Structure 1
Amino acid sequence: MNTFSYAQEIVNELQRSVAQLGAGEAEQMAELLLRSGRVFVAGAGRSGLMGRAFAMRLMHAGKDAYVVGETVTPGIGPGDVLVLGTGSGETASLLSMAVKARAVGAAVVAVTLSPESSIGLLADHVVKLPGAPKEQADGGRITIQPMASLFEQTLLLFYDAVILRIMEETGQTSTRMFGNHANLE
């Protein structure tokens, strides 16, 4: 296979993955974020990178959004939402965040491969994404891609779809959102 063929197969995998997304789960998540106070986003590794991109777009859309672990991130409280992107739903640091968020009255959203996981069972709202856990992605069983790449890519697409729904509900446009774009670059 050449590079173009690999890229085409990745696109095909993403089309199959997106076709499995539950529209109701995405809609409920967008509604929760719209009525929430602040939004806190976390994930480990590459899932965390997708979360950072999501937090940036939430900020562009006018939400008070924070990435957990940054020095400027305030404390979470009642009326706030913690969004966790986690393939396994068992990452200890994310589970600890979910427990703490619930203890102080914040809502928890798990976007995961594993709704029956510890984080999934603790969350107020669960979005099940299709994909392969990193330990099962093996040469074409579910994906040709290494480890959890399909999950992470689907996570980013899902997050962007939620942003588009929030934009629609709030009358946002890319032009209006650009007013919140960084200007010290």
Structure 2
Amino acid sequence: MDTVSYAQEIVKELQRSAAQLDAAEAEEFAALLLRSGKVFVAGAGRSGLMGRAFAMRLMHAGKEAYIVGETVTPGIEAGDVLVLGSGSGETKSLLVMAEKAKGLGAAVAAVTIAPESTIGKLADYTVKLPGSPKEQNGGERATIQPMASLFEQTLLVFYDAVILRMMEQTGQTTTQMFGKHANLE
């Protein structure tokens, strides 16, 4: 298979993943973000990179959004939400964050393949994403992609869809959001 064929297969996999999203969970997640105070985003590895992109768009949409662990990130408190992107739902560092956030009265939202995981059970809100490379279809992998690539891509697409829904619900346009874009580049 050549590079373009691989790209086309990845897009097909993403279409199958998007078709499996639960509309009610997605709507509840967007509503939570709209009504919350500050939004804190975390994830490990590539999931964390997708979370960084999401926090950036939340900021563009006018939300006070932060990446956990950055030096300018304030403390979380009641009324805020911690969004965790974790395929397995078992990432120890994220579990510690979730426990701490809940102890301080903040909501925890997990976007994961495994809502039945430790983080999924601890979370106040869960969104189940497809995309596990461990899923088997008649002994075959559910994806041609390595490791958790399909989950991470689906995570970014889901996060971008949430931003579009929030824009729609708040009447924002891309032009308005661009006004919050970094200008010291």
TM-score (norm 1): 0.97
Give the distance between the partners of 1:23 and 1:57, measured in 2 at CA: 21
Name structure 2 gaps, 5 residues minimum. Answer: none
Report the 3-state secondary structure (helix = DSSP H, G, I; strand = E; otherwise coil) of the residue aligned with 1:85: strand
Question: Is 2:119 aligned against 1:113?
Answer: no
Which residue does the alignment assign to 1:92? 92
Question: Is 2:175 aligned against 1:182?
Answer: no
Which residue does the alignment assign to 1:124? 124
Q: How does 1:1-185 map to 2 (within 5 A)?
A: 1-133=1-133, 141-185=141-185
String of CA shifts for 1:78-117, please: whole Å, max 9, x gaps: 0000000000000000000000000000000000000000
Report the 3-state secondary structure (helix = DSSP H, G, I; strand = E; otherwise coil) of the residue aligned with 2:132: coil
- Contact 1:77 1:104 survives alignment (8 Å): yes
Report the 3-state secondary structure (helix = DSSP H, G, I; strand = E; otherwise coil) of the residue aligned with 2:111: strand
Q: Measure how far apart 1:168 and its partner are.
A: 0.5
Cα RMSD, aligned residues only: 1.5
Q: Which amino acid aligns with 1:105?
A: G
- Contact 1:136 1:147 survives alignment (8 Å): no
Q: Measure how far apart 1:141 and its partner are.
A: 1.3
Percent same amino acid at aligned positions?
78
Q: Measure how far apart 1:140 and its partner are.
A: 5.3
String of CA shifts for 1:16-71, please: whole Å, max 9, x gaps: 00000011111000000000000000000000000000000000000000000000
Q: Which amino acid aligns with 2:33?
A: L
Runs of 4+ with >2 A deviation = none
Equivalent residue pairs, number = 184
Give the distance between the partners of 2:178 and 2:61, measured in 1 at CA: 9
Give the distance between the partners of 1:34 and 1:10, measured in 2 at CA: 31
Name structure 1 gaps, 5 residues minimum. Answer: none
Report the 3-state secondary structure (helix = DSSP H, G, I; strand = E; otherwise coil) of the residue aligned with 2:90: coil
Give the distance between the partners of 2:181 and 2:70, measured in 1 at CA: 19
TM-score (norm 2): 0.97
